[in-house]
């Protein structure tokens, strides 16, 4: 993808690059945090379940979940707003109510919702940052969980409370838990972006370290070959 395809994110990266690179070299925007598994989790069910996660730029969040065993698909998109405003340029204004999000379909016999939450809070993003992640700023980059049912809500809220009480993060978790009312897949050029653009500066500095952290902290859940959107459609 050409740099002109996403000028806002490129501009945000370049604006932060001078400060971030001079301060910490090629380090990731956020470090992984070792956290305990959830005390409350869903029982292993049958069939395929769906969960929606929002934690900053969807490129990295999608990339992380695509490398998790038991995940059948991870699609970048928009959640929290209306269908008519679910386009990248419109969402990027920060005025639509949408968050950049990833819809994950998974096999609960292989990976539980609680395990996905642990990976989400540990390596996919920083849940203590309000309306920003790394160099990205705006409500579209907020931390949010869009739950499919009361059981997911129970697991998510219980886990957030557990992590806050254990003080594994230096600040309170700001992740908002809301009912999933709609998910709108992002434009094709956003799908599988991490895998297709491994040398793109934003990916190198902000997202590839997340994949390395996933492999290091969750070796039993990591798979080297990601499940890709374009391959699934093909």
Active site residues: 57
Token look-up 């934690």 returns 55
Sequential DSSP letters for 64-97: HHHTBTTEEEEEEEEESS-GGG-SHHHHTTT-SS
H/E segment holding residue 105:
strand 99-106
Q: Is 228 helix (H, G, I), strand (E, B) or coil?
A: coil
Distances, alpha carbon 187 to alpha carbons 63, 191, 204, 226, in Å? 16, 7, 22, 19
Residue 234 and residue 222: Cα distance in Å, rounded?
A: 24
């Amino acid at each position: 993808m050409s740099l002109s395809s996403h000028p806002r994110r490129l501009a945000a990266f370049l604006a932060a690059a001078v400060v971030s690179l001079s301060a910490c070299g090629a380090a990731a925007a956020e470090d992984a945090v070792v956290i305990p598994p959830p005390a409350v989790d869903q029982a292993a069910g049958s069939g395929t379940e769906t969960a929606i996660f929002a934690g900053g730029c969807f490129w990295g969040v999608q990339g992380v979940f695509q490398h998790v065993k038991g995940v059948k698909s991870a699609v970048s998109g928009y959640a929290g707003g209306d269908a008519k405003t679910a386009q990248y340029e419109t969402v990027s204004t920060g005025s639509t109510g949408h968050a950049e999000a990833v819809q994950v379909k998974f096999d609960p016999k292989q990976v539980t919702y609680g395990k996905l939450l642990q990976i989400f809070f540990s390596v996919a993003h920083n849940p203590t940052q309000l309306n920003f992640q790394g160099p990205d700023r705006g409500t579209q980059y907020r931390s949010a969980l869009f739950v499919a049912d009361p059981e997911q809500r129970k697991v998510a809220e219980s886990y957030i409370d557990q992590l806050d009480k254990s003080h594994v993060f230096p600040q309170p978790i700001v992740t908002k838990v809301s009912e999933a009312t709609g998910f709108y897949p992002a434009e094709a050029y956003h799908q599988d972006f991490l895998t297709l653009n491994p040398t793109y500066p934003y990916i190198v500095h902000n997202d590839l370290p997340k994949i390395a952290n996933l492999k290091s902290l969750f070796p039993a859940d990591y798979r080297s070959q990601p499940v890709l959107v374009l391959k699934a459609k093909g």
